[in-house]
Amino acid sequence: MLFRSASSVAWGSGRGVGPTGASTNGTALAWARLASGSTLHDVVHAVVERADTTTGLSYWRSIDGGDWTVGIRIDPPARRGSQGVVAASGGVVYVAWTSSASTDPASTAPRTIWFRWNNGNGAPSRWSTPIRLTPATGRVDRPRIAAYGSNVYVAYTDMVTGWIQVRISRDYGRHWVTRAVGRTTRTGPGGDRKSTRLNSSHSQQSRMPSSA
């Protein structure tokens, strides 16, 4: 549900985001992320994940904070995405997500991060082709994304090594470098390193050399 306030004090009633029933049916909606920051007043962007194996991730947009456009598929249908995140700066919208051949959290199948940008405030015809940001044979988890001007940042955890990495682009997502910002010692299913907050006791600050 989306709640909107023009004063940060008085809030309107909740409005559903995504396909009909997705915001109220706990078995239908698995993941939803929102972002604002466009040049147009009251524009809100959303990435919605359905908890089934057919619909994957969809992008939704509201230009008034209440009514939503019909969602469009973001991830390639042949390889279902999950853990979608979205950011916006100016008229550019950025989305990232994880992709794996398996939806089982305990699976050791490769899991990669993919990225798309849109330079038309989310217009359907302005999406870039998907770009893979992490190695095809790696395993990553829980991406987070932020943007300011032409700068885009995608953070994630390497589930094999525990390194918390940030992919950085200074040109709207065309070219990227990688920086290591810490390391987690927590483990998840199958012994994988599990993402955690950088300021927790499980995370270690590091001066590990950056890699391109």
Q: What angle do CA 209, 210, 212 make, to 5 degrees?
A: 140
pLDDT in the model for residue 34? 64
> Whole-model pTM?
0.76
Helix count (H) and strand count (E) of the chain? 0, 13
Q: Note whether 112 and 138 are within 8 A (CB).
A: yes
Distance CA(21)–CA(18), nearest Å, equals 8
Closest CA to 92 of 177, 176, 172: 172
Q: What is the pLDDT of residues 8-34, one digit of tens each?
A: 444 455 555 555 444 433 444 445 666
The residue ranking higher by pLDDT, 24 or 63, is 63
Q: What is the pLDDT of residues 192-210, one digit of tens each?
A: 555 544 333 333 333 333 3
